Structure 1
């Protein structure tokens, strides 16, 4: 076994690899960019080396800086994790030339399987069925469009050089081919440095099933069963489980053997995954999609049902050890399910989010495992992938694993950064998911129903009661100093608080002091323009709730009672409000000033203004000041966490302001442009 291994990655996978290195008594070396100087993987490694500024191209994607870090720390081997350079054949060769062991397959296998076009041709020659699609590499836009028309709509555009859903585009309308090909090329170039595309037939309501393989350098190859990865959003997996409820033993064995043959066809060594697309109504008709020549994000579910540590066996195989078991020795026991917790805001259309982790609780034990790169006080930006952690549950059967995972997600608290944890918990409770009736389009079809329409009133009640609560007293409190609305010899006054949760309309909460520490609550709309003249005037159509009472408030928790029901939230203070969390959902309840919101944005507010929906980088600017634009016309593209968001004209008119250029970094809600309506231009 190696004595020192450098982990050429960041976040939760770096923490995961470091954990196994520690268990094996191997010294770990972490690398970090300036953005990750205080990251968890840096603190948990035995040694850490700065490799450059925040941009990945100057740090985590810099082969020279990684090799220099390995040389300076005496590392004998490099574990690439996943993402970044994990499937970069050039990096694998550079490691070998530097006298380092690359903990992964040979560079030739990475190169072959990393080219989806050559990979399909190679496995097809080995007898593995493949998805019908275009043939040949380096196709022009016109050739891709021609191949798509020949295959017939709908089709799937895929980058030849990458995976993980980056750059993939489902096209159902032939008239959109040109725009979609251009967008797919941009994303592929940004993610993989290669914009080569292929086109494949789209199979409606397919299931995505992958087989984990493990191969040594002595010619032994086994498979470790399958993983069901059909629950996806925008071609990105969000829930994975093992085994799949779709496969019977005969189909499982056949797909496993096909995966083994695919691995043999490219001379594979190490842990890898062969991915198949499977018609849900005919599981025996499966097609090879691609091979991931690395450890997968979802590897923990395979570890839990096989009892194997895949990182450990990556290390052992790389050090020359032979696999200790044959295919007959591999058994699958129980059921495991994983959920990917990402920095994205379901209430704002799943846009990438960011912020500083103000409070954190991640469940462990009792059949639950959390693999995470998070720690309190660390900022989450838009520079890297949005995945923050993975929550995994194991049980003797699928219903038990599902129940444990739902409970674990409800127990997950990440305050300061909006996440999808609550959305994932609701998805797991969906009847189709509970029944195992899955397909890759299910999440997109059901997403709207899994995102709450509004903010629960008890959230605003908690914020208002906290706002009005006196500081923790150390003795007697002057009742005249407490902003409760209480008056000597008079009727208790009603105190108003204005709040806003991003993605939702502003709300006004009124509190009128009652008996025994309670307060009567009223809720109403707190619009900007409607209330600019009199911020504390009568509320339009107020609705009441109550009585309400602040039961407990500490640095991490607040308990309120509203109309006889008790509600408990995780709590963290922010400069302009509070963060509240419950059952995996979080709300940033911000102070809202109707007057300032109206007057401060004069001339730059309302539907004319286009603001950045997320922190990121402007990659494309298609217009200039004075240009006439049509409603829905694409004006700019903002990229964050390897995702593109198109900024379109809200109506026909003229661009009167344009405050950014291509390459500019923007903050969430920053003004990008103003489009004056045609009649006002």
Structure 2
């Protein structure tokens, strides 16, 4: 290609997207500038950039949303342009305006596109005027709850409540009956206000069994807009995408042309420049019927699947447009080859309701025969400060079946020890018959049975036993005089005995679901197994395509666990309510001493942009242990619900 597009570009983001943008900058001979918070001082993107600047402490409001600090870093580094990635300031009109005022190019669309498409209510009305089909709904701006309820009866239930600002599914609530509307409005407003600083809501008719299809568009400096095909983003949990693929298995050439034309019309209506995505709902039983949802005026998390089937570098195209260069591409030049599927790897615990997980990455190994965009490496710290997505595994195949098979194999070979992830769940999802057949809708994951962590195989247990034995041996203190066996050796459980060969003892482990498993300790781990031991003594092991976290137990502890489990089955529900994830208490719903019913919400904990309610396990009287604003640890007691009959006695 021609001469460098810019000399220096600052990447105003973190994690895997910052690393991905830096890769293209390096390939094009452009100097890259990273920014980082205190929590990310040792992050991979900081080391990989040509220079890096601190922009504040861990909270996003004081760092990655701190426009003044980012612009100061751009000026100090002589950056000519800022690439915002996605999230954070990527769709912030005020930031784009501030960049222009500072003489720095914002690598994104113009202010008009940001303003119109950044508001779901305004964008819906805008594109409807250009012939783009939209879902019937309500603009709740300035309306009271009573006004919304009256208007909702005209639209009909079920309804989907959406914050007008922001995206990513945050704050969305489904309402199926009028009596559930008011509490859902309160929840949506609270989340929207906290996440986006704007509690304006939009209500839309909920389309049952919808598919989520989005179209990648690219606007050139000459005003032309082309599309790069569609992506199927239907597999979602809590409105967050989990698996994405290109092309969609239900979109044929005719439907692709119609969807592409609608997407280009929406983008052209706001004089769009650069990369953007127009999102549609498609009825699962009527794929020819689609409705505009919103337009994301930035690069998408799932852009790699489009890159793999088109052979194009979307970041490079963004840079060309931002530098005032022609796209060098027409609609006729865009061809789709094969199939690409992406799986998002989250730091979360599927067996505990997908609650966010934190910790130190003791070992990270990515498969080599697929594309992996990761935010972590061995030694990285995963904290509760940011989004739980820590990577993406993307596989290409000549057809969809091959892409699915390659992705499943790659996930089985992806190793992350020290932090819980959803990799096991992703493999289970990919094996579901409906997923393999392409018979998808956005409720598919919700209808799946609760995820159960795989039972460790004998190879995994033997590997864990070997790791624990070696760890204990390393911990045994030695007699400085060199005379006699150290006293600690008698207590080590390593199988040592005087005057004879060691007798391998049995090793016992407790899984996260409380099961106690035993195996004979092996002198060495199986060849394909990988193990690590964390600071709390848990043994992490990857074997046979699965990862396990195991707590070593003595014989006595194993017996106590079994007795406790037996007692728990016979006992009443536990009156102690514990935090199921680390985070902040954002709401307390009942006063101390209140009488509550089983299932009633007591308080809400938030971490990694997700809220989790803590509910009463039975009828009783509440005693609170925390207040709004408190930070809590995983499994920390946060309240007690004393059964009513105990109070009476």
**What is the alpha-carbon distance in structure 1 between the residues aligned to residue 358 and residue 602 of structure 2?**
24
User: How is 1:597-616 mapped onto 2 (pairs within 5 angstroms)?
Assistant: 607-616=574-583
Q: 2:420 aligns with which of 418, 421, 430?
A: 418
Q: Which residue in the other structure is 1:38 paired with? A: 42
Instruction: Evaluate the alpha carbon distance shift between residue 452 and residue 83 of structure 1 in structure 2; reply closer, same or farther with a 3 A threshold.
Output: same
**What is the alpha-carbon distance in structure 2 between the residues aligned to residue 508 and residue 329 of structure 1?**
58
Q: Which residue in the other structure is 1:430 paired with? A: 432
**What is the alpha-carbon distance in structure 1 between the residues aligned to residue 77 and residue 403 of structure 2?**
42
**What is the alpha-carbon distance in structure 1 between the residues aligned to residue 154 and residue 540 of structure 2?**
53
8 Å Cα contact 2:468-2:539 kept in structure 1: no
SS state at 1:271 partner: strand
Quick check: 93-102 or 662-671, which moved more?
Answer: 662-671
SS state at 1:226 partner: strand
**What is the alpha-carbon distance in structure 2 between the residues aligned to residue 494 and residue 334 of structure 1?**
53
**What is the alpha-carbon distance in structure 1 between the residues aligned to residue 388 and residue 402 of structure 2?**
29
User: How is 1:108-507 mapped onto 2 (pairs within 5 angstroms)?
Assistant: 108-135=112-139, 137-365=141-369, 368-448=370-450, 450-452=451-453, 459-460=460-461, 462-464=463-465, 466-468=467-469, 471=473, 483=493, 499-502=509-512, 504-507=513-516
Q: Which residue in the other structure is 2:609 paired with? A: 642
Matched, 1:667 2:619: no
SS state at 1:283 partner: strand
Deviations 1:56-101 (A, max 9, x none): 0001011111111111111111111001111111111111111111
8 Å Cα contact 2:467-2:532 kept in structure 1: no
Deviations 1:335-380 (A, max 9, x none): 1100000011111111111111000001233xx1001110111110
Matched, 1:58 2:62: yes
**What is the alpha-carbon distance in structure 1 between the residues aligned to residue 399 and residue 589 of structure 2?**
53
**What is the alpha-carbon distance in structure 1 between the residues aligned to residue 530 and residue 297 of structure 2?**
40
**What is the alpha-carbon distance in structure 1 between the residues aligned to residue 460 and residue 573 of structure 2?**
26
| Cα offset, 1:434, TM superposition | 1.0
Q: Which residue in the other structure is 1:516 paired with? A: none
| Cα offset, 1:501, TM superposition | 2.9
SS state at 1:127 partner: coil
8 Å Cα contact 2:83-2:107 kept in structure 1: yes
Instruction: Evaluate the alpha carbon distance shift between residue 125 and residue 649 of structure 1 in structure 2; reply closer, same or farther with a 3 A threshold.
Output: same
8 Å Cα contact 1:185-1:196 kept in structure 2: yes
Q: Which residue in the other structure is 1:572 paired with? A: 532
Deviations 1:113-132 (A, max 9, x none): 01111101111100010111
SS state at 1:86 partner: coil
**What is the alpha-carbon distance in structure 2 between the residues aligned to residue 91 and residue 273 of structure 1?**
20
Q: Which residue in the other structure is 1:602 paired with? A: none
Q: Which residue in the other structure is 1:562 paired with? A: none
**What is the alpha-carbon distance in structure 2 between the residues aligned to residue 155 and residue 451 of structure 1?**
31
User: How is 1:34-113 mapped onto 2 (pairs within 5 angstroms)?
Assistant: 34-113=38-117
| Cα offset, 1:452, TM superposition | 3.8
Q: How many residue pairs were aligned?
A: 621
8 Å Cα contact 1:496-1:508 kept in structure 2: no
SS state at 1:71 partner: helix
- TM (norm. structure 1) is 0.86
Q: Which residue in the other structure is 1:620 paired with? A: 587
8 Å Cα contact 1:412-1:583 kept in structure 2: no
Quick check: 247-256 or 660-669, which moved more?
Answer: 660-669
Deviations 1:541-569 (A, max 9, x none): xxxxxxx462633xxxx55xxxxxxxx53
8 Å Cα contact 1:39-1:378 kept in structure 2: yes
Q: 5+ residue gaps in structure 2?
A: 479-483, 565-571
| Cα offset, 1:461, TM superposition | 5.1
| Cα offset, 1:494, TM superposition | 10
**What is the alpha-carbon distance in structure 1 between the residues aligned to residue 458 and residue 152 of structure 2?**
50
| Cα offset, 1:595, TM superposition | 9.7
| Cα offset, 1:168, TM superposition | 1.0
**What is the alpha-carbon distance in structure 1 between the residues aligned to residue 445 and residue 378 of structure 2?**
31
**What is the alpha-carbon distance in structure 1 between the residues aligned to residue 94 and residue 323 of structure 2?**
21
8 Å Cα contact 1:341-1:421 kept in structure 2: yes
Q: 1:588 aligns with which of 549, 563, 566?
A: 549
Compute the RMSD of aligned alpha carbons.
2.7
8 Å Cα contact 1:500-1:506 kept in structure 2: yes
**What is the alpha-carbon distance in structure 2 between the residues aligned to residue 339 and residue 14 of structure 1?**
18
8 Å Cα contact 1:413-1:582 kept in structure 2: no
Instruction: Evaluate the alpha carbon distance shift between residue 455 and residue 67 of structure 1 in structure 2; reply closer, same or farther with a 3 A threshold.
Output: same
**What is the alpha-carbon distance in structure 2 between the residues aligned to residue 173 and residue 458 of structure 1?**
51
Q: 5+ residue gaps in structure 1?
A: 510-520, 522-547, 560-567, 600-604
8 Å Cα contact 1:138-1:197 kept in structure 2: no
**What is the alpha-carbon distance in structure 2 between the residues aligned to residue 79 and residue 182 of structure 1?**
35
- TM (norm. structure 2) is 0.90
| Cα offset, 1:426, TM superposition | 1.7
| Cα offset, 1:454, TM superposition | 5.2
8 Å Cα contact 2:211-2:281 kept in structure 1: yes
| Cα offset, 1:676, TM superposition | 1.4
8 Å Cα contact 1:220-1:323 kept in structure 2: no
SS state at 2:180 partner: helix
Instruction: Evaluate the alpha carbon distance shift between residue 345 and residue 583 of structure 1 in structure 2; reply closer, same or farther with a 3 A threshold.
Output: farther
8 Å Cα contact 1:421-1:584 kept in structure 2: no
| Cα offset, 1:216, TM superposition | 1.5
Quick check: 163-172 or 493-502, which moved more?
Answer: 493-502
Q: Which residue in the other structure is 1:525 paired with? A: none
| Cα offset, 1:245, TM superposition | 1.1
Q: Which residue in the other structure is 1:532 paired with? A: none
SS state at 1:81 partner: coil
Deviations 1:613-657 (A, max 9, x none): 11111111223432222211111110011000001111111223x
8 Å Cα contact 1:139-1:197 kept in structure 2: no
**What is the alpha-carbon distance in structure 2 between the residues aligned to residue 218 and residue 28 of structure 1?**
28
| Cα offset, 1:303, TM superposition | 0.5
SS state at 1:679 partner: helix
Deviations 1:1-49 (A, max 9, x none): 1111111110000000011000011111111111111111111111110
Deviations 1:265-293 (A, max 9, x none): 11111100000000112111111110000
**What is the alpha-carbon distance in structure 2 between the residues aligned to residue 195 and residue 455 of structure 1?**
46
| Cα offset, 1:508, TM superposition | 5.9
8 Å Cα contact 1:610-1:672 kept in structure 2: yes
